[in-house]
Amino acid sequence: MGNFKSVFKLLRTENGYTQDGLADMLGISRSAVSMYENGNREPDLKTLEAIADLFKVDMDYLLGRSAAAVTASPERYTAPNCDDLITVYTRSRKNLSQEEKMRLARIILSDDDEE
């Protein structure tokens, strides 16, 4: 898959994700993230699409086929929107506690725009 492992790790670290945090966002295990970064495993198409969507990069860049980096640097960072939060919730393999569900619901239903 070209240079996927390097691009993937760079995107994760530049965007401030831990392996655990990124795994939760993608609905995969931390060990899968580690294996992707070490080149011991490659993501399936669905996971690859989720990674590209999360980092807002094109698949060619993610696969190392394009040098055009479209990374979310700190000055370009945008907070997750309602759809992003719902996606994280639905992709999560673990059950959320009642408190976590309520917190997520408050965030989703909030009409505060923090920009």
Pick from 68, 79, 5: nearest CA to 41: 5
pLDDT tens-digit readout, 89-103? 666 646 666 676 677
Distances (CA, A) of 90 to 24, 27, 39, 47: 11, 8, 27, 14
Confidence class for position 67, pLDDT limits 50, 70, 90: confident
pLDDT tens-digit readout, 8-51? 999 999 988 999 999 988 999 999 999 999 999 999 999 999 99
The pLDDT value recorded for residue 71 is: 47
**For residues 15 and 26, what is the distance between their CA atoms, to the nearest angstrom?**
14
Q: In this structure, are residues 102 and 86 in contact, taking their beta carbons and an 8 Å threshold?
A: no
pTM: 0.59
CB under 8 Å to 11, separation ≥6 — which residues? 51, 55, 57, 62, 71
Pick from 62, 34, 33, 38: nearest CA to 48: 62
